[in-house]
Amino acid sequence: MKKIVLLLLLLVTARPYILADNTRQTDDRDYWCKLLYKIAEPVLRPMSEGKLQKEMLVEVSPMWDGRDIRVTYMEAFGRLMAGLAPWISLPDDETTEGKQRKQLREWALKSYTHAVDPKSPDYLLWRKEGQPLVDAAFIAESFLRSYEQLWLPLDQTTKERYITEFKLLRRVDPPYSNWLLFSATIECFLMKAEAEADIYRISSALRKIEEWYVGDGWYSDGPHFAFDYYNSYVIQPMYLECLEVVAGKKQIAKQEQYKIALKRMQKYVQILERFISPEGTFPAFGRSIPYRLGVFQPLALLAWREQLPKELSNGQVRSALTATMKRMFSREGNFNQKGYLTIGFVGSQPNISDSYTNNGSLYLTSFVFLPLGLPANHPFWTDPPEEWTQKKAWNGQDFSKDHAIRE
């Protein structure tokens, strides 16, 4: 009898801790979903009605370089969709999250149509300036990331318009930098869609990025190395995703190159994770720092693709990224009075912008949300929270050693 009573007491006392732990993990996903919805809604709701260019409160750098300000809308839409695509591609359900996803997906599909309809007030700036090459690539990337859910449902006229606009962007001669990958990403999408891709634009970009590898998980952005986050914003993800498309065409050499690129990215994301301090901050350096949490795109991408290196657990990556989100977005000033992102790193800091920065550029921060493409019952969301590397190190706990990779 005493044993039974003791067992009942243990069950009663243990249950609240179990519930609290599960609630805490569920709260992480709830927080991510609410924040991404807050970021996405002001862009997609009006654009689905052809009213984004009428309603968006635009902000440009104090050092604005004078390009057509309408590039802002394409930047906001393209970058948002590249980060949002995996989440809104999950199956519908009757949860609050499921209803949000469904609404965003419906808005997104309508917005895709407006973006290429010359008669729509929200027809984007495809045919002027060089900047559209960049954000067309992010739109193409969103299609690559959610081909069946976001590309296939589009009507035939809209598909033909995208293919036309993508091909017309061959007018842009990309600078000798990460821009080569924008051309390659668009052509890789055309390849996947069986729409007469320019193979040379793909192969020449992939060869150049390989030549620019400088070691230990880092690529140079052009012939000269710059210590910034462009490995995160563009180079690592687009290089890997382009290689994946080409490797899927049964090219053995590209399949091996893909494996090497993945190994390098796995090393790079270990570095990114170690950048996150015990307090949830990370170093602000290099150009384009107002892209905020876009810094962690490779870490988020490999989490979503279930390709994290063995040194990083789901629990620690989720906990680390959640800590950075809360540290950054708990501060006032990240959104203007109409709900659009402001230029800054934490809050409104327009003077840290570059001459090409507008508040459409900032939607690259949505890339950190890629793991929302994993269902709520995935271990990324259900595994217990864990302290991340710097938190373990500064608390005097054991943590994994770091070492250079060998190829």
Q: Which regions of the chain are under pLDDT 50?
A: 1-24
Question: Across the chain, how many H-helices and E-strands are there?
Answer: 15, 2
Give the start-end residues of each E strand in 192-349: 213-215, 218-219
Q: Which helix (H) or strand (E) holds 381?
A: helix 379-382
CA distances from 2 to 10, 12, 158, 377 (A): 12, 15, 72, 38
The token pair that represents 183 in the structure block: 């051309």
Q: Is the CB of residue 191 less than 8 Å from the CB of residue 202?
A: yes
The token pair that represents 14 in the structure block: 């243990």
- What pLDDT sits at residue 151? 98
- What pLDDT sits at residue 389? 98
The token pair that represents 287 in the structure block: 């150009």
DSSP-derived pairing of the beta strands 218-219 and 213-215: antiparallel
Give helix 252-275 / helix 199-211 axis angle, nearest 10°: 50
- What pLDDT sits at residue 125? 98
In 71-131, alpha helices (H): 71-88, 96-116
Q: Is the CB of residue 393 less than 8 Å from the CB of residue 399?
A: yes
Question: How is the chain split into domains, by residue range?
Answer: 33-394
- What pLDDT sits at residue 4? 43
- What pLDDT sits at residue 25? 63
Q: What is the CA angle 225-226-229, rounded to 5?
A: 125
Candidates 221, 142, 210, 143; CA nearest to 179 is 221
Cα separation, 114 vs 124, in Å, equals: 8
* DSSP letters for 194-214: TS---HHHHHHHHHHHHHTEE
CATH architecture of 33-394: Alpha/alpha barrel (1.50)
The token pair that represents 156 in the structure block: 């035939």
Residues with Cβ within 8 Å of residue 315, at least 6 apart in sequence: 383, 384, 385, 386
- What pLDDT sits at residue 2? 45
- What pLDDT sits at residue 10? 37
